[in-house]
Amino acid sequence: MATASLAPPVTRPRVLMVGTAFATAAAVMVFLGLLGVYLAERSAVVTAGDTWLPKGVTIPLDQPNIMLATLLMGCLSVQWAVFAIARDDRVNAYLALGLTLLFGFMVVVMTAYLYSLMKLDVAATPQAVLIYTITAGHIAFLLASMTYLSLMAIRALGGQFTSRQHDGISAAALTWYAQTAVFFVIWLAIYITK
Amino acid sequence: MAITDTRPEAEPEVDAEVEAEVLTRSPNTVFGSGDHLTLGRLWIGASLLFGVAGWVASALVEANQIGDETLLATNVASTLFTAGRLSLVLLVVVPLMLGILTAIVPMQVGANTVAFPRAAALAFWTWLLSGGVLIVANAIDGGFGGSRREAVDLMLVGLLGVIAALLLGTVCMLTTAITLRTTGMSLDRVPATTWAGLVGGSMWMLTLPVLAANVLLVYVDHRYGRPSVFGVGANQFSQVSWAVAQPQIYAFVIPALGIITDLLVTLCGVRQAHRGFVLFGIGAFGALSFGAFAQPYFYPDVADQAVWVGFSLLIVLPVLLLVGAWVSTIRAGRPPARAAVGLAVVAILLFLLAVVAGALFAVTPLRLRETSVYASGHFALVVAAGLAAAMAGLFYWSPKIRARFANEPLAKFSVLLAFAGGVLGGLPLLILGFADRFTGLADAAGALHAVGSLGAGLMALALVVAIIALVLATKGDRPGADAWGRGQSLEWAPTSPPESGNFGELEVVRSPEPLLDAAESAEEA
């Protein structure tokens, strides 16, 4: 091509942010697919006049409530990290990222505790298969988000992100928001509705 | 460079000779490459080879239907049927489209690389490994409903790996098209292939994860349960069969619409008339191909619901709109008698046949949904249409992908084979689908299955001939940057094949046909 009127240097939009958004959308669609099956199966059982959860199985609500509250606090702390790094306040950014990871770890522990209380045998019923697949899938999503946050925290410690370019932290925060939103739907569909 | 990084705009200065020597000697140029052309070639080569195997499997399944079905053991026939269906989509059509898009989209949008090149490489190698696991597991009685428990688990893990890899590759392609466009190239100015890639990739991002969710449920129940419902052998394939049925099957061939459009306007040497309608048509086709809701296993009455019927009938309209645009392009420009054009015409005919057959499938009084044979014919037509368009694209972009024009006589032979294979592979099964209404047809079932088997075999042969035509690309001088002499979009600006980084400096893009603009400006000057 002739180079008579050359384009100015291209200012790239947020490549990592867009890529993460697509990957996050795919992850969310996995849960929508699983929850669609869950609700269809639940509806079929309830319509037939049975109770959805097998007899003798109770799913306590305290732990899911605490998990939801913890994840919401994580949303605040991860936004704090984005806010801080956008102002070159690295100390606060490190603190916020660390706190978010701690919240994530607490949710993993709480889920394990909830599993021990539920006394639901995965081999027993389709209900158990669905509940374990969906909730464990969420834990996998949470762990992926924590891994992403950890990598970005390490990069931040290495001095990579600044107020002018903090895509990595923002993108990792997006995955945290998405997995919290997914948990909110799980909380409604599985733990509240039962 | 980390997996989340994209190559910077300006490459560091290196000695070109030293770099060339290192690159040509090192196996890293293939196994460790994040170059979009290398990855595109790998996707294309592997998916074409899988395609030959997939059509041979289809031919065997059809041949087994002749007479008293004694050609294959029952479990072998079942495995070939289920594995063949999913493989033709997840190991052939989608990766072939993804390969073409990975190779071409960065050049079309004026980018020097694909976004996240290492993630793109990870996607290909994960797909290849998972595809291998999938095939091996099927071969050792681990298909859907197979009797070897561990092999079935292995197959399901392989299937999840294939889907995850395709999604990762799609993320890289979509991010390239969204974020790496050159200055002035707004979304309404991207070439039709990139636009179709955006639409198709978005649909894959919305639907393949739902398929993964289905497979995950089957896996968890089969691996850890007794199984209870999802993992029971007889239920396994039913839960994922929506992915190879109407309307979802259309989603996997969306990029073909863009390939046909770009190929025809370039080879006809005219600007696309009513371009907005073409982009709308591709978008509408994409929206109407969303099939994740249509899961008959969980919603048995879905085919009687207005949404499903509406999708099946309405999808004919965007195809008619696009066919009108393509016909007007051909009439305006008189394309050369090249294999690429022939395959594009074959793909158009097969698309038309497929969407009309799909619309009839939705008409309940015809009772076409009572057996699976009509759906098999429809599936064969859609896949054949997608493959014909992909082969057309490969011959069209051969100067960029292979650095030479494809061997034209062989390519023309593949046109005949693809046409015969597509029509014979699908049409007899569509006719047999009417057997419930016309009882005499049942007597001809053996003959119709035999013709269907022949058609599938011809499609396998068409792919073999296409591979040979690409491998035996014409010797002699390398084609110039604008290999066809009528290039409109930016992929025809760099050399054939492009050097590392694709482009030097580019002008501001001011229309969907920047190269035509440049040529016209030069003439005026």
Contacts of A97 (CB under 8 A, 6+ apart): A78, A81, A149, A152, A153, A156, A169
Query: Which of these, A179, A182, A185, lies nearest to A74 by C-alpha position?
Result: A179
Q: Mean pLDDT for chain B?
A: 91
Q: What is the CA radius of gyration of chain B?
A: 23
Per the CB < 8 A criterion, the answer to whether B490 and B514 are in contact is yes
Strand partners, B507: A6
Measure the CA–CA gap between B53 and B113, rounded to whole angstroms: 32
Residues of chain B with C-beta less than 8 angstroms from the C-beta of A33: 209-214, 292
Provide the shortest C-alpha distance from residue A32 to chain B (in Å).
7
Q: What percent of chain B has pLDDT over 90?
A: 75
pLDDT at A163: 86
Handedness of CA B393, B398, B399, B402 (dihedral sign): positive
Partner-chain contact A1 B518, CB within 8 Å: yes
Q: Measured between alpha carbons, how far is residue B186 from residues B178, B182, B285, B505, B512 in Å? A: 9, 9, 21, 18, 9
Classify residue B208 by burial, with Cβ atoms within 10 Å: 0-12, 13-18, 19+. buried
Render A13-32 in DSSP notation, one character per residue: --HHHHHHHHHHHHHHHHHH
Q: State how far the Cα of B210 lies from the Cα of B216, in Å rounded to an integer.
A: 10
Q: Which of B102-116, B211-225, B379-393, B474-488 has the lowest mean pLDDT?
A: B474-488
Question: Token digits for B249?
Answer: 């099957």
B401, containing H or E segment: helix B398-401
Write out residues 56-115 of A within 8 Å (CB-CB) of B.
none
Task: Compute the distance between CA of residue A158 and CA of residue A168 in angstroms, rounded to an integer.
Answer: 13
Closest CA to B222 of B160, B278, B303: B160
Greater confidence (B166 vs B438) lies with B166
Look up the ipTM and state it.
0.92
Confidence (pLDDT) at A9: 56
Return d(Cα B133, Cα B138) in angstroms, integer: 8
Out of B178, B182, B208, name the one closest to residue A7 (CB): B182
Angle (CA) A109 A79 A139, round 5°: 25
Q: Which residues on A lie below 8 Å from B210 (Cβ)?
A: 29-30, 32-33, 36
Q: Could you report the per-residue pLDDT of B84-118, keeping only the tens digit for each?
A: 999 999 999 999 999 999 999 999 999 999 999 99
| Pair of tokens at residue B81 | 């049927």
CB atoms inside a 10 Å sphere around CB B453: 23
CB contact under 8 A, A23 and B167: yes
Burial of B235 (0-12, 13-18, 19+ CB in 10 A): middle
Distance separating alpha carbons of residues B258 and B278, to the nearest angstrom: 9
| Over residues B225-250, mean pLDDT | 92
Q: What is the mean pLDDT of residues B232-259?
A: 96
Q: Which chain B residue's Cα is nearest to A9?
A: B183
pTM for this one? 0.93
Residue B12 predicted with pLDDT over 60:
no
Closest Cβ opposite residue B518 in set A2, A26, A125: A2
Residues B6-18: what's their mean pLDDT? 53
Say whether A122 and B212 touch across the interface (CB within 8 A).
no
DSSP type of residue B433:
G
pLDDT of residue B504 exceeding 90, the answer is no
Residues of A in contact with B221 (CB under 8 A): 126, 129
| Measured CA distances, B487 to B108, B323, B332, B507 (Å) | 11, 22, 16, 16
What residues does each domain of chain A span? 16-48+60-192
| Contact across the interface for A137 and B183, Cβ inside 8 Å | no
Top CATH class of B33-518 equals: mainly alpha
B141 conformational bin, left if phi > 0, alpha if psi -120 to 50, beta if neither: left
Q: Which residues contact B183 (CB under 8 A, 6 or more apart)?
A: A7, A8, A10, B506, B508, B509
Chain B contact for A117 (CB, 8 A cutoff)? no
The predicted structure's pLDDT at residue B26? 66
List, in sequence order, the alpha helices (H) in B229-298. Answer: 233-240, 248-251, 254-268, 275-287
Amino acid B2: pLDDT: 62
| pLDDT for position A3 | 42
A39 interfacial to chain B (CB closer than 8 Å): no
Tokens of B264: 């025809």
Q: Are B111 and B181 a contacting pair, CB within 8 Å?
A: yes
**Residue B83, CB-side half-sphere exposure with 13 Å CA sphere:** 33
- Most A CBs within 10 Å, among B4, B113, B211, B492, to test the A interface: B4
Cα B305 to Cα A33, B355, B506, distances in angstroms: 20, 19, 51
Q: Residue A19 and residue B208: Cβ atoms within 8 Å?
A: no
B438 φ, ψ (degrees, to nearest 5)? -120, 95
Q: Is the pLDDT of residue B14 over 60?
A: no
Cα B488 to Cα B107, B277, B399, B505, distances in angstroms: 12, 19, 15, 17
Of B171, B509, B514, the CB nearest to A23: B171
Query: Which residue, among A182, A17, A26, A33, has the nearest Cα to B163 in the 3D structure?
Result: A26
Question: Confidence band (pLDDT; 50, 70, 90) for B317?
Answer: very high
Minimal C-alpha gap between B329 and chain A (Å): 25
Average pLDDT on B370-384 reads 94
Tens digits of residue pLDDT in A138-180: 999 999 999 999 999 999 999 888 888 899 999 999 999 999 9
Of A145, A26, A144, the C-alpha closest to B209 is A26
Alpha carbon of A106: minimum distance to chain B alpha carbons (Å) = 25
Residue B507: phi, psi to the nearest 5? -75, 165
End-to-end CA gap in chain B: 44
Please state which of the ranges A4-18, A150-164, B402-416 shows the lowest mean pLDDT. A4-18
List pLDDT tens digits, range B117-173: 999 999 999 999 999 999 999 999 999 999 999 999 999 999 999 999 999 999 999
Looking from the CA of B357 toward its CB, the CA atoms found within 13 Å total: 29
Residue pair B473/B395 in contact (Cβ under 8 Å)? The answer is no
Can you tell me which residue has the tokens 């600044």?
A162
- DSSP type of residue B204: H
* Whole-number pLDDT of residue A4: 46
CATH of the domain spanning A16-48+60-192 = 1.20.120.80
Band of the pLDDT at A124, cuts 50, 70, 90?
A: confident
- Chain A residues touching B211 at Cβ < 8 A: 33
Say what the pLDDT of residue B413 is. Answer: 97
Secondary structure letter of residue B112 according to DSSP: S
Q: How far is it, in rounded angstroms, from Cα B120 to Cα B107?
A: 16
Which pLDDT band holds residue B525 (cuts at 50, 70, 90)?
Answer: confident
Q: Which residues, including other chains, have CB under 8 Å from residue A19's CB and lie 6 or more apart? A: A171, B4, B115, B116, B119, B171, B172, B175
Q: What totals of helices (H) and strands (E) does chain A contain, helices first?
A: 5, 0
Q: Residue B191: is the preceding peptide bond cis (ω within 30°)? A: no
Partners of A6 in beta bridges: B507
Rounded Cα gap, residues A58 and A65, in angstroms = 15
Point out the residue among B4, B210, B221 whose CB comes nearest to the CB of A33.
Answer: B210
CB environment B386-403: b (16+ within 10 A), e (fewer): bbbbbbbbbbbbbbbbbb
SS3 of residue A6 by DSSP:
strand
- Between chain A and chain B, how many beta carbons pairs sit less than 8 Å apart? 145
Q: Which residues contact B356 (CB under 8 A, 6 or more apart)?
A: B316
Q: Report helix, strand or coil for B507.
A: strand
| B227 preceded by a cis bond (ω within 30 of 0) | yes
* A124:B226 CB<8 A: yes
With CA atoms as reference, the chain A residue closest to B201 would be A22
- Residue percentage of chain B with pLDDT more than 70: 94
CA angle B407, B409, B411 (to 5 degrees): 65
Could A37 and B515 be called an inter-chain contact, meaning their C-beta atoms sit closer than 8 Å?
no
Residue A53 has pLDDT above 80, yes or no: yes
| CB-CB neighbors (< 8 A) of B518 in chain A | 1-2
Q: What is the per-residue pLDDT for B458? A: 98
CB-nearest to A132 from B213, B220, B518 is B220
Q: Which residues on chain A are in Cβ contact (under 8 Å) with B226?
A: 123-124
For residue B72, the one-letter residue type is: L
Residue A187's pLDDT band (boundaries 50, 70, 90)? Answer: very high
Q: Which residues between 154 and 183 in chain A have a beta carbon less than 8 angstroms from any beta carbon of chain B?
A: 168
Q: Assess A149–B contact: CB distance below 8 Å, yes or no.
A: no
For every residue of B341-376, DSSP letters joined together read: HHHHHHHHHHHHHHHHHHHHHT-GGG-TTSSSHHHH
Q: Which residue of B has its CA nearest to A42?
A: B298
